[in-house]
Structure 1
């Protein structure tokens, strides 16, 4: 081996794709996996909740390998799974006795605090002999970014730690709104270029090979977060204050992931009406809705994506991604219980009228609204 390849550049580069809920990570990854540069990439997807959806929504070629990590977020409950997966990957996924992949891309859940993940990649003795952190890619939703940054500390950390910030959904905001958000992101992370992206389309060269991750050139906040994580890991033996080991769907006392499945096809009008009413009364607290839906009279699956009060036009897939034909929904909310969501959605098959449904949902949500 040439001496120039024996240093850090000979290690397998790892790119971490982060970004708050609904900011376009899966859309980005769906485009990337089709690129030539990703033919020898190992993709690790972290799903928050007990139902897998992102894995089904990634269009993979036969050469791709996608590893799901479900049941919690990488920054807390299943961080050990990430360590184990990366340690075992070269031989566990070997082909003809040798490691076949030369790049790793990790898509985190939108609720993940990136500091513990980066700390793990940068400090684990075994991982540092196999991998190098190539860069952190953060997606920011241009339509909801300002509100998200106001309300979510994780979103600020994700932007601050990024080597590249991808500004998504710029086609649905004004130039002034985009400029205002870019100015704020520059204040958070002046070192990261901000790249507008539409429908996840970007050349891999623009985000990969960003160089070894060096926290010293990041803001003082980033250095503080990484140091805090190191201290808590070494001296307290737990992960950054998240105590939700018994509930894989809970991220803190307010944010909760509800996973709903339906064996029978859903009535299209009733389902759409339920979404409309829910977002009307609780839009700011509907952090993320995504799902594969089986509708009455439609042979193909419908994919829905929503962030707060914004729902993108549903997408009709060419075919079901697996033999599973059930409707599967993941709804991440703030201060809305799983029981409230199930109770209202169950009315889809009850024959209740449109007026009664609206009244029921309004009364129930108002009854549970914070004082």
Structure 2
């Protein structure tokens, strides 16, 4: 049964990679284009306020036609006067359960059988095929259920083949209820939801906010934190994060990453730095070994690196075994060309990672170079070097 489900998910994800509306675009970095539709994942533990936030975006006056895919069945409640009955009837004729609002936004539930990931893929494919070449929405929000691990969905949306899809992963937003967070952050699911996020919204309970903020920072020192009341945050703050698209959006917050210490038995955040330029071939071997040996344990990788003989920053993003690297902007004159990489995952050995990462700057002639498009070979497509395996 499990093998059949995995096979179905693989087939559906590849089908989504091949189309699903909008235009394609080459390159493993998944650069946004006007023809491609961004996807933001909204995650958070049970009762954190995800549905309140999503309802506000659905009914807001923000100029976007947002499609919300809801995985908590029946959780979203929309006032009747906000619904466009005619367009809802037309949409439901081709894709069951779709509600269209007067502001152009759409809402539907993942009601098909199977895992949460499979339901989301079904809905994206179903609506994409029904709409044809022109989709009736320009943004997708996926609200996960409270106990869901967003990692598998992120892996599908971040896989290299998605570069030819009409969709791209824009970012992951985690909602944390500060009033109950110190209890909620104990389960592994809740910790991972924070660990993989690109933005964390801390809502309510001003008295406990500082303790919660430190706990969140220990799990994910790279994610900016918002402080709101009842998830009262505008769509402009949550949408178009471009979290995977360029170095301009990558906030590593080196001091915080270096100083935060996680006391969690599940998740740790390790900050790695090198003041010497890295050899690309050594870095590729290191990343390949990390992807192969610790793919289940490494939740997120984010980094801005300096390569030997390369005038541009090298940007690294990874979700489990899906690790992509591409060239960013050029280093400015007089700017220190230092490398910073943050690895977030399960029971990581910080000292061992630090030593093996530092070895990527060791003496030796680099045998690899970036392509004209500013990319390196995919880490998951080459044979892992024996040297790289030994270092990890």
Match of 2:166 in 1: 130
> 2:197·2:223 contact (CA, 8 Å) conserved in 1?
yes
Measured against aligned partners, the alpha-carbon deviations of 1:165-189 in whole angstroms (never above 9, x if no partner) come to: 0112x2xx343x2101101111111
Match of 1:18 in 2: 43
Match of 2:320 in 1: 227
The 5 Å alignment of 1:197-216 reads 197-213=228-244
Measured against aligned partners, the alpha-carbon deviations of 1:165-223 in whole angstroms (never above 9, x if no partner) come to: 0112x2xx343x21011011111111111111223321212111111437997856423
> 1:91·1:98 contact (CA, 8 Å) conserved in 2?
no
Q: 2:76 aligns with which of 55, 80, 96?
A: 55
> 1:146·1:181 contact (CA, 8 Å) conserved in 2?
yes
Change (3 A) 1:124 1:138: same
Distance 2:121 2:112 in 1: 15
Change (3 A) 1:38 1:107: farther
Residue 127 of structure 1 deviates from its aligned partner by 7.5
Measured against aligned partners, the alpha-carbon deviations of 1:126-157 in whole angstroms (never above 9, x if no partner) come to: 6851111111010001111011112x111111
What RMSD over aligned residues (CA atoms) do the two structures have, in Å? 3.2
Q: Gapped runs of 5+ residues in structure 2?
A: 1-24, 84-100, 253-268, 271-297, 302-317, 324-392
> 2:65·2:137 contact (CA, 8 Å) conserved in 1?
yes
Match of 1:103 in 2: 139
Distance 1:127 1:101 in 2: 20
Match of 2:309 in 1: none
Change (3 A) 1:128 1:16: farther
Say yes or no: does 1:8 pair with 2:31. yes
Distance 1:142 1:57 in 2: 26
Change (3 A) 1:136 1:78: closer
Match of 1:181 in 2: 212
Match of 2:344 in 1: none
Measured against aligned partners, the alpha-carbon deviations of 1:48-85 in whole angstroms (never above 9, x if no partner) come to: xxxx321335775332211101377xxx7242232232
> 1:21·1:111 contact (CA, 8 Å) conserved in 2?
yes
Distance 1:82 1:124 in 2: 19
Q: 1:165 aligns with which of 200, 212, 217?
A: 200
Q: Gapped runs of 5+ residues in structure 1?
A: 231-371
Change (3 A) 1:126 1:159: closer
> 2:71·2:145 contact (CA, 8 Å) conserved in 1?
yes
> 1:115·1:229 contact (CA, 8 Å) conserved in 2?
no
Residue 112 of structure 1 deviates from its aligned partner by 0.6
Q: 2:189 aligns with which of 148, 154, 165?
A: 154
Measured against aligned partners, the alpha-carbon deviations of 1:87-146 in whole angstroms (never above 9, x if no partner) come to: 34333245xx62221110101101110111101111273685111111101000111101
TM value normalised by structure 2: 0.48
Match of 1:270 in 2: none
Change (3 A) 1:222 1:130: same
SS in 1 for 2:40: strand
Match of 1:280 in 2: none
TM value normalised by structure 1: 0.51
Say yes or no: does 1:120 pair with 2:156. yes
Q: How many residues align?
A: 212
